[in-house]
Amino acid sequence: MVNVVLAERKTAVLTPSSLACLSQIPTVNLTAGCAHGCLYCYTRSYSSYPGEDKVTFYTNTFDKLRDELTRKRRAPKAVYFSPSSDLFQPLPEVLDLGYEILEFLLGRKIGVAFLTKGLIPERHMRLFEENAPLVRAQLGLITLDGAITGVFEPCAPEPAVRLSQAKRLARAGIKTQMRLDPILPGLTDDAESIGRVCGAVAEAGVKHIAASALFLRPSVADSLKRHIRDPSMLDKLLRAFGQGSRMAIHARNSSVFALPVTTRQQMYERVAHEAQLHGLIVHLCACKNPDLASGSCSIAGEWTRNPTAAIQRGLFPDDERS
């Protein structure tokens, strides 16, 4: 059971991100911590992380946001939810506040972009459908194997639910992308697993998929070791990092322990191959793979008339299609 701690936000609501993929759009977090409890979540290493089974809910977010927008000379084109939490956590307080803020932003013709692994309530879905041109959606999906998602994403809805939501969003004319992130070495990185995901994504009517491999920080490694009960599963996962090394990434100017570059390159080539078979366009996150890619994985969608496509250094030559 998740313990919700009420707190007032002291800092600004609309904040810039150190991620290059989010450099052109302000971001919003309704909470610190997330009720989905994903074992691989990189925010476990953040100083604001409240601990497992705990979420800090900022009660004054809407009032501060409204005040910030009133004082701005020019409103942002769009706002992104959320670099450190999920807009659709299974918590009534978060869902109610999220709807209030989304309705406010869309009512002012400010676009909203989100990445979620959560269950989108009907009222939120209808709001998105009514404002489709102002919405960009990304849904996280690491595999179709429920046994794996049950371990790594214990409080998130099953893959079929996320695919169903993606299908509805895409049918509504909302620009929708699936995010295969993180790819788990030894568990979800084989061609069959990736192919099943790509096939399901294509069947849902989604044309774009972003991808990135798992990388480790000490807090993430600790989470995996404490929660994965199957020794063979944990061994397969961690063994792949045996020849890895530290790598600086474009996220909070930090470094992580990454899989060997050849391992990641081969992994992404499998993704590119399977995606091509299913007519999908792949985006590789350069923030997490600066040694293999440049440009953006389009995590917040495109908000310019003539977006500059990411250059993927030859790995994904079809990525410039829109």
Confidence of residue 251 (pLDDT cuts 50, 70, 90): low
Structural domain of 95? 3-320
Distances (CA, A) of 133 to 22, 61, 175, 274: 19, 25, 8, 30
Q: Distance between CA atoms of 162 and 144, rounded to whole angstroms?
A: 10
Task: Judge contact between 127 and 103, C-beta under 8 A.
Answer: yes
Sign of CA dihedral 54, 100, 141, 315: negative
Please answer whether residues 268 and 226 qualify as being in contact, where contact means their C-beta atoms are separated by less than 8 angstroms.
Answer: no
Q: Tell me which H or E stretch contains 258.
A: strand 255-258
Sequence-ordered list of residues with C-beta below 8 angstroms from that of 17, at least 6 positions apart, any chain = 23, 27, 80, 83
DSSP 15: B
**Which of 163, 168, 171, 113 has its CA nearest to residue 297?**
113
Lowest-confidence segment of 66-70, 137-141, 313-317 by average pLDDT? 313-317
Q: How confident is the model at residue 276 (pLDDT cuts 50, 70, 90)?
A: very high
Give the residue among 159, 140, 161 at the shortest CA–CA distance from 40: 140
Spatial separation of the C-alpha atoms in residues 176 and 180, rounded to whole Å: 13
pLDDT at position 296 is 67
pLDDT, the chain, mean: 89
Number of domains in the chain: 1
Q: What is the pTM of this model?
A: 0.90
The single-letter code of the amino acid at 8 is E
Determine the 3-state secondary structure of 244 from DSSP: coil
pLDDT per position as a tens digit, 154-163: 999 999 999 9
- Predicted local confidence at residue 289, as pLDDT: 85
Task: Give 95: exposed, middle or buried? Use CB within 10 Å, 0-12, 13-18, 19+.
Answer: buried
Contacts (Cβ under 8 Å, ≥6 apart) of 153: 36, 37, 38, 39, 117, 142
- The pLDDT assigned to 254 comes to 67
164 phi and psi angles, rounded to 5 deg: -65, -40
Residue 251's Cβ-side half-sphere holds a number of Cα atoms within 13 Å equal to: 20
Q: What would the pLDDT profile of 157-203 be if each residue is shown by its tens digit?
A: 999 999 999 999 999 999 999 999 999 999 999 999 999 999 999 99
Angle at 136 between CA 154 and CA 181, to 5 degrees: 35
Residue with more model confidence, 311 or 170: 170
Tokens of 251: 């996220």
SS3 content of the chain, % helix, strand, coil (to 5): 35, 20, 45
**Structure-token pair, residue 262:** 């050849």
pLDDT digits (tens, 9 = 90+) for 77-102: 999 999 889 999 999 999 999 999 99
- Which CATH number covers residue 177? 3.20.20.70
At residue 269, the 3 state secondary structure works out as helix
